Amino acid sequence: MSESFDFGGDIVWYPTPDYVEPAHLTAFMREHGLATFEDLMRRSTEDVAWFTDAVLRYLDIQMRVPYTEVVDLSAGVMWPRWCVGGRMNIAHNCVDKYVGTAMASRPAVVWEGEEGATRTLTYGELHAAVNRAVNALRSLGVGPGDAVGLFMPMTPEIVVALLAVAKLGGIVLPLFSGYGKDAVVTRLANADAKALFAADGAFRRGKVADMKSVADAAAAEVPTLRHMIVVRRTGHDVPMRAGRDHWWHELVDAQPDVAEAADTSAEDVVMVIYTSGTTGQPKGAVHTHCGFPVKAAQDMAFGTDVHAGDVIYWMTDMGWMMGPWLVFGSLVLGATCLLYDGAPDYPGPDRLWALVERHRVNQLGVSPTLIRSLIPHGDAPHRAHDLGSLRCFASTGEPWNPDPWRWLFQSVGHGLRPIVNYSGGTEISGGIVMGNPILPLKACAFSGPCPGIAADVLDEHGNPVVGAVGELVIKAPWIGMTRGFWRDPDRYVETYWSRWPGIWVHGDFAAVDEDGQWFILGRSDDTIKIAGKRLGPAEVESVLVAHPDVVEAAAIGVPHDVKGSELVVFCVLAASAAPSDALRAELRRMIVDAMGKPLAPREVWFVSDLPKTRNAKVMRRMVRSAYLGQPAGDTSSLVNPQAVDEIARAR
């Protein structure tokens, strides 16, 4: 685990005064007399209570009843209690507190549909819409502590529904809009959901994708589900079950636009987000009113430097944590969140850049996979649009390969805008490590840990290492940490706290170089060990995608009697390329030249797609399972489960 790591590369972006001076980080550090980022990291991790209190004040998180203690660790580091005695509802801090101020007339949510339709909700309009949805839920008998699912495309109504459930004192269950019936049932049933927000369907590449039939099939298997509120998105005919189903435009829009927020504790559960496990049932990460939203807003402020009035867009779905992250973070900060419901390259490969130009996006969140898919179209699509509003790119979901990173940085960003790399997870409520506007940056790197996150890299003996690969860990609690897994506390402890006492082991391999730049090298369970050498899949995949014919790649290790593992790689080719033995041999040579002869792949496979989640994370464990003929585990998070079947057939 601690083999030396050749980072290579120099600093490619240095922060200029126009980034440093207006930055949230700069203001926060000056407010507290902290001269350097290192000073901030030291104090924020050694005095967690001070830092958390300072962040709550900086973000203007308003409490109806103030907390008497920032954090109570009497139950141990695994089970902290935050904002002890405080009473607050996050909907107040996202919307209600702006009523009667100049903010009420500013845009809170801007939406564009694939078909070209657009809508805008000001903070005042969002406040009224949320209140109508709260009253609609209350009219159905839904109240505090009730779980409500969100199974909708990214339209303004999903933001309204998210905030309404929170304001009601209920528990939000975000569901990926592409889920099949079984995945929806598992999550709704596990939380005893009482209601579901759904839609008739969504548009994808000019066609209607039906969602109501999936919602109906799932509802039939969840006995606690009493009500379904349906948004008319596409207008195609769908069956409505009398007594259970209600059209949004009939039920919600007719309600009064005044509603009181539920009197919730700061630590009341506001949301359970399910993440897929390697095996078994999905894990329900539990989040509270003062937890996930505060961490989201903090990272958005200190990392992507979102200010009131900025427009931030992240290519996401509400079922991935970046959906609630986008909504909670932007609204706490008084910014505008842009939603786009559709394919990012439809009707043409310039759609993403057209969105940036049309809506004057300031912070653009993408995935490395999306960028790799756009590169074959060349520079013409982005050069056709004015991207002058952009202050930074941001990315999360999986490690970068150098070539796509450099294309985004140089060809699109002209070397002037940082790529704020971001890595953490659903159970973190955001990031462990992240770029920011005041520190220099190397390609594919993170400037450092997020403030307040006591991150480290440990070798197999639990010792910190620099310049070597190790396990990414966190050594102190933070306000965004999950309050455990829903109805499964033992699994939570086993997953994160069982390796070293009092230390959160995240499951990623990471490294820190001599310049203090951080690198995430992929999931530690994806790591390949060949003849005693530990190898991160991203190292191999970066070699492969450097070939002009390769759009995407996945590297796995398979059992070998002598070497322990052998390398097998899977490549998705560009539309202009054709599979051939010559190309297979060329790719094999490239790996040997770059990595050494012992790491020559046993096989090079060409496939039409790789199994990916909605946030474009390649699921290598499923690639490996399919190749070896083993059960794939929970595939409900995949947007393309057919890719698993193709690999299984190809072996």
Same domain for 81 and 212: no
Q: What is the pLDDT of residues 158-178, one digit of tens each?
A: 999 999 999 999 999 999 898
In which band, very low, low, confident or very high, does the pLDDT at 558 lie, cut at 50, 70 and 90? Answer: confident
Q: What is the pLDDT of residues 288-340, one digit of tens each?
A: 999 999 999 999 999 999 999 999 999 999 999 999 999 999 999 999 999 99
Q: Long-range contacts made by residues 586-590, C-beta under 8 angstroms, separation at least 24?
A: 586/547, 587/544, 587/547, 587/550, 590/543, 590/544, 590/546, 590/547
Nearest-angstrom CA–CA distance, 91 and 483: 20
Q: What is the pLDDT of residue 213?
A: 96
In which band, very low, low, confident or very high, does the pLDDT at 1 lie, cut at 50, 70 and 90? Answer: very low
Q: What are phi and psi of 608, to 5 degrees?
A: -80, -20
Buried b vs exposed e over 386-425: b needs ≥16 C-beta within 10 Å?
ebeebbbbbbbbbbbbebbbbbbbeebbeeebbbbbbbbb
CATH at 147: 3.40.50.980
Same domain for 644 and 572: yes
Same domain for 129 and 174: yes
- Span 12-37, mean pLDDT? 98
Q: What is the pLDDT of residues 421-430, one digit of tens each?
A: 999 999 999 9
Same domain for 221 and 78: no
Q: What is the pLDDT of residues 229-288, one digit of tens each?
A: 999 999 999 999 999 999 999 999 999 999 999 999 999 999 999 986 544 578 899 999
Q: What is the pLDDT of residue 135?
A: 98
Q: What is the pLDDT of residues 107-118, one digit of tens each?
A: 999 999 999 999
Same domain for 591 and 564: yes
Asked if the structure places residue 266 within a domain, the reply is no
In which band, very low, low, confident or very high, does the pLDDT at 150 lie, cut at 50, 70 and 90? Answer: very high
How many Cα atoms are found within 13 Å in the side-chain-facing hemisphere of 226? 11
CATH at 539: 3.30.300.30
- Span 72-90, mean pLDDT? 98
Q: What is the pLDDT of residue 212?
A: 97
Alpha carbon 76 to its chain centroid, in Å, reads 28
Closest CA to 241 of 223, 259, 217, 260: 217
Per-residue pLDDT at 2 exceeds 60: no
Q: What is the pLDDT of residue 442?
A: 96
Structural domains of the chain, count: 3
Asked if the structure places residue 473 within a domain, the reply is yes
Q: What is the pLDDT of residue 449?
A: 98
Query: Using only C-alpha atoms, what is the Rg of the chain?
Result: 24
Nearest-angstrom CA–CA distance, 449 and 497: 20
Sign of CA dihedral 495, 500, 506, 509: negative
Q: What is the pLDDT of residue 159?
A: 98
Q: What is the pLDDT of residue 445?
A: 96
Per-residue pLDDT at 651 exceeds 80: no
Q: What is the pLDDT of residue 201?
A: 97
- Span 36-64, mean pLDDT? 98
- Span 632-640, mean pLDDT? 73
- Span 3-28, mean pLDDT? 86
Same domain for 67 and 116: no
% the chain with pLDDT above 90: 79
Same domain for 614 and 638: yes
Q: What is the DSSP string of 374-398?
A: HGGG-SHHHHTS--TT--EEEE-SS
Domain boundary among 523, 550, 571: 523
Question: What's the mean per-residue pLDDT of the chain?
Answer: 93
Q: Are 486 and 284 in contact (CB under 8 A)?
A: yes
CATH at 392: 3.40.50.12780
- Span 459-483, mean pLDDT? 95
Same domain for 202 and 159: yes
% the chain with pLDDT above 70: 94
Q: Are 555 and 537 in contact (CB under 8 A)?
A: yes
Q: What is the pLDDT of residue 253?
A: 97
Q: What is the pLDDT of residue 562?
A: 66
Per-residue pLDDT at 191 exceeds 80: yes
Asked if the structure places residue 6 within a domain, the reply is no
Per-residue pLDDT at 14 exceeds 50: yes
Domain boundary among 490, 523, 556: 523
| Adjacent-strand bridge partners of 246 | 229
Q: What is the pLDDT of residue 279?
A: 45
Same domain for 135 and 54: no
On the 0-12 / 13-18 / 19+ scale of CB atoms within 10 A, 340 is buried
Per-residue pLDDT at 381 exceeds 70: yes
Per-residue pLDDT at 532 exceeds 70: no
Asked if the structure places residue 1 within a domain, the reply is no
Domain boundary among 467, 500, 523: 523
Nearest-angstrom CA–CA distance, 48 and 453: 9
Asked if the structure places residue 606 within a domain, the reply is yes
Choice among 187-196, 445-454, 519-528 with the minimum mean pLDDT: 519-528
- Span 544-556, mean pLDDT? 92
Asked if the structure places residue 278 within a domain, the reply is no
Asked if the structure places residue 602 within a domain, the reply is yes
Whole-model pTM: value is 0.87
Q: Across 4-18, 278-292, 555-569, 571-585, which has the greatest mean pLDDT?
A: 571-585
Per-residue pLDDT at 632 exceeds 60: yes
Q: What is the pLDDT of residues 206-237, one digit of tens each?
A: 999 999 999 999 999 999 999 999 999 999 99
Q: What residue numbers bound the domain in which 225 lies?
A: 99-251
Same domain for 536 and 470: no
Same domain for 234 and 174: yes
Three-class secondary structure assignment of 225-290? CCEEEEECCCCCCCCCCCCCEEEHHHHCCCCCCCCCCCCCECCCEEEEEEECCCCCCCEEEEEECC
Same domain for 211 and 110: yes
Sign of CA dihedral 485, 488, 491, 493: positive
In which band, very low, low, confident or very high, does the pLDDT at 557 lie, cut at 50, 70 and 90? Answer: confident
Asked if the structure places residue 211 within a domain, the reply is yes
